Amino acid sequence: MELFLHDRKIVLSQFLILCMIIVVSCRGPVYKPPEIEKLTDHFSRLSVNQSYNVFYGGSNIHMTNNGSSAEIILDKSSGSGLISKEKYYYGFFNAALKLPAHFTSGVVVAFYMSNSDVFPHNHDEIDFELLGHEKRRDWVLQTNLYGNGSVHTGREEKFYLWFDPTLDFHDYTILWNNHHIVFLVDNVPIREVVHNTAISSVYPSKPMSIIVTIWDGSEWATHGGKYPVNYNYAPFITTMKGIELEGCIKQQQNNTNSSSILTPTCSKRSSTSSLDPVDGEGFMKLSSQQMAGLDWARRKHMFYSYCQDTKRYKVLPPECNAT
């Protein structure tokens, strides 16, 4: 009898190990990113309460660690969001986020820049959008940008992450200057948009707020609502810290029309251009190491680019054919 129980335990343990292997393999291969310089080390980290005000859903926002971090929450009553106290023109913007676990279909976490409050019909945006997966506990990362337009003029690209974003904090960074826009994840560039003639008409050009939100995107993010948010798993909590906001601040002036474009002034890095706090040599173009990281991320993790979407575009946008 003891021998039978011993053999049964061995078989059971082997079965559990096999199940774990299957689960891991179903999540896809795990890739280690290349070694790369950490741009986030160049800037000071701020607390959340220093940098942001409540955007909406105040009862679903909890400041933690004396305001150095915050939880933004989605439940059946509301989503929530934070908005930067200042509007910025060019700069380096970072947030370290830890995403909700479990079944997150339809949940959207966004870290983005926008001026839609001032320019509702021709605003600019630069977006990170993290989309809960409808089948597994994975998340999809979407990047987007547009200038002087709307969401219909967006330039989306989608990526699978090379880590589980629910287990720890990871840095999501937007670098925006006159030379290019770079999206970085844990300092690895995943997308670069070079400011050239082909894209100049839709290149973001006006001061923007930095916004972090969590919301129910069921109808938009899951095939027309096929996999809506399941509130049996609520509350969905995203934790945020590691704030870096290094940019030229749009100055408020009395008796000025709010829709006019004011000349921003740079609060830091006075050694660089007055309209570009990230205009130094290290920010004008990607280094060879960063280019290798960009190539790695796009070859192994990008699965959608608008420049390959011939169903959406009968004629691809001009920057898709630019060399």
Out of 71, 129, 134, 157, which one is annotated catalytic? 129
pLDDT at residue 217, rounded to an integer:
93
- Residue 125 designated active-site: yes
Model confidence at 102, pLDDT cuts 50, 70, 90, reads confident
Partners of 212 in the β-ladder: 82, 111
What is the reported pTM? 0.85
pLDDT in tens, 116-138: 999 988 999 999 999 997 766 57
CB 119 within 8 A of CB 271: no
Amino acid, single-letter form, for residue 167: L
CB 119 within 8 A of CB 150: no
- Residue 219 designated active-site: no
The terminus-to-terminus CA distance of the chain in angstroms comes to 74
Out of 86, 125, 192, 244, which one is annotated catalytic? 125
All structural domains of the chain, each given as residue ranges with its CATH number in brackets, are: 39-249+264-309 (2.60.120.200)
pLDDT at residue 256, rounded to an integer:
47
Model confidence at 269, pLDDT cuts 50, 70, 90, reads very low
Model confidence at 32, pLDDT cuts 50, 70, 90, reads confident
